[in-house]
Amino acid sequence: MLVFARCDFKAACGAGLRPRQSLAMIVLGIETSCDETGVALCGEQGLIAHFLHSQADLHAVYGGVVPELASRDHVQRLLPLLRELLEASGVGREDVGGVAYTAGPGLLGALLVGAAFGRALAWAWDVPAVGVHHLEGHLLAPMLEPQPPSFPFLALLVSGGHTMLVEVSGLGRYRIIGDTLDDAAGEAFDKTAKLLGLGYPGGPAVARLAEVGQSGRFRFPRPMTDRPGLAFSFSGLKTAVLQAWNALPGTEQNRADVARAFEDAVVDTLAIKCERAVAETGLERLVVAGGVGANARLRARLASLGRQLQINVFYPRPEFCTDNAAMIALAGRYRLTRGGTEGLAIRARARWPLEEVEAPR
């Protein structure tokens, strides 16, 4: 799918990101951290165009991502996607001034495909390249919107195996103030979907089913909200769902009601922790990013919380909540225009703590 979109890069820079080099640079972004293959172009006015290929159908039969299959599919998809992107956008390779690729965290084999592809292109085109932290891309994804947040802000990052609250002071300046102790929210969605026989990927399937579920019929625990602190834990919630479902006849209405109760529990938990984090930090801007950030019920609840606390809440559009190359191109462009670049080494890290990301000098 080819999507053209625009955001005001100059306005975003004025909101807290001030490039040191030419704003005319067009950056190619490459995303291959897991089961989406993405390429995107980001220029002076923001996002020019992006392509995204999902491997959901490839992995659905296995009930989850198979790393080797993911890597092989990235190899097959990247070059055709790039050719289509350049042709459809009207951008020539001579117009590209830099390459950004996801360097981690993620599946190591998948990351190496994108890193090798991006580093080789940068060498062949004689342009700088930079590896981008996948979660930094998610944190900056709201900058793709017409009204981006300015620094500092509080971020609720709910992506894949990550559920965390992050105090974001600037580019590369991240302090985690709340993290998950076991299952992340996204993992809980996937496991609940599998338990209810909904297949893969689980988050959207559970959310669709919850729409026809009866609210209040079941009530599951809101993990770790009965004690102080900002830590998350969703393994107990998953167990509560398992016990409730095993005690019920497997009717469609029961399935929907359990899905609704599970979604309500996750949304309530995330909202309670966000409210605590706002009180602790005093920040007046809340960013919600990552795949679970596309959940409509979560968005509505946090919008209500924002009005209650008189803070501004920012989201990327749903297509930029899940993994995509647009956020990688944007984050890479911010870094490259501030002097960031790397040598010829191919860099990929399956594990890469967010707080180890360096701020541009």
Backbone angles phi, psi at 342, to 5 degrees: -135, 165
| pLDDT given at position 24 | 62
CA distances from 158 to 84, 183, 185, 339, 350 (A): 31, 11, 7, 30, 18
User: What domains can you pick out in the chain, each with its CATH number?
Assistant: 2-143+320-356 (3.30.420.40), 151-315 (3.30.420.40)
| pLDDT given at position 360 | 87
| pLDDT given at position 200 | 82
Backbone angles phi, psi at 131, to 5 degrees: -85, 135
Backbone angles phi, psi at 308, to 5 degrees: -65, -40
Reduce the DSSP state of residue 47 to 3 states and report it: strand
Q: Are 244 and 220 in contact (CB under 8 A)?
A: yes
SS3 letters across 306-325: HHHHCCEEECCCHHHCCCCH
| pLDDT given at position 20 | 36
Rounded to two decimals, what is the model's pTM?
0.91
> What single DSSP character describes residue 147?
S
| pLDDT given at position 356 | 96
Which residue is associated with the tokens 């399956």?
350
| pLDDT given at position 340 | 84
Which residue is associated with the tokens 């979604």?
263
Interacting residues of 124 by C-beta distance below 8 A, sequence separation 6+:
none
The percentage of residues in the chain with a pLDDT greater than 70, rounded to a whole number, is 93
| pLDDT given at position 201 | 84
Interacting residues of 249 by C-beta distance below 8 A, sequence separation 6+:
none
| pLDDT given at position 36 | 96
Q: Which of 15, 342, 292 is nearest to 162 (CA)?
A: 292
> Counting Cβ atoms within 10 Å, is residue 57 exposed (0-12), middle (13-18) or buried (19+)?
exposed
**Which residue stretches of the chain have pLDDT < 70?**
1-24
| pLDDT given at position 226 | 94
pLDDT in tens, 281-302: 999 999 999 999 999 999 999 9
CA distances from 108 to 22, 33, 300 (A): 33, 8, 35
